[in-house]
Structure 1
Amino acid sequence: MVRLTLDASDGLSGLTTDGEGVHWVVPERARHLYAIGPDGTRLHRLIGLPEEVDAEAITWLGGRRFAIGTESSVADRASDRIMIVEVLGQEARVVEDIEMPYAALGATPDDNDGIEGICLAGDELLVAIEHAYEENGARVAVLARRRLDGGPWSASR
């Protein structure tokens, strides 16, 4: 077992592994990504992530591209965002901003509830929404999905 010390005073939020076996970690509020591989840990400055959002989830999309799920502290907001990031050298730069509208999912987020999990399954993004509610006596959360290349959002409960 290898022990690593990361400067993550704001906490770590998401973890994914790329096709080369490198682990990628996104902190909640610090604007960088950690790449943890057999040759050590590399820090990539995250450029273009809006200051008003927290990074909460990450998934590898192939090559040097990742999707980062976010949330904000604004209650009853209309949407949260998924940032598509490309890593080039020591920078991880937002190259696309995908809006995930809550109305299309039949959901309303609370303050500091948002996208808590994200993965790519085939050509679809699957997104776990943090906000849970009660429906017919059961605790329910929303799983959203959308093709990576666009199209409408759909929800499962």
Structure 2
Amino acid sequence: MRSKLYIAIDLRFEAGTPAIGEAIGLGAAVDYLSGIGMQKIHDYEVELANYLYASLRSVPNIHIHGPVPSQNVQRAALCSFNIEDIHPTDIATFLDQQHEVAIRSGHHCAQPLHRDLRVNASARASLHFYNTKEDVDDFIRALMDTV
């Protein structure tokens, strides 16, 4: 058990100011999201994710990882994929440099999953409630131009 003296010494050696601004920002974010409604955000993200999945199916030689989003599947509005004979990092680089479209590439902190899928990396498009179907269309056009 810690003594009061030990706790006082711990606090004395803490560097900087506590994350007060971040705590206030988190509160503002919670208020903002609560004002929109978390269920409304979820429903829209499911709709957008389904649109992304359906749109990605039109890309030649694509392999989409994971289940199709639905109201019954708890998952984020994102899609990991590979395109035959193109490294995910190349896809991400070309999308960024040629079309100003940002996606992720790599392991996504899921190396064991990638090992099980027998892929060395994947590309991932992520959506949130501030994205639109037009954003998805722009992404698909850029991806088709890239592959």
Q: Greater strand share, 1 or 2?
A: 1
Q: Greater helix share, 1 or 2?
A: 2
TM-score (norm 1): 0.23
- Could you say which structure has the larger radius of gyration? 2
- Highest relative contact order (Cα 8 Å, sep 6+), 1 or 2? 2
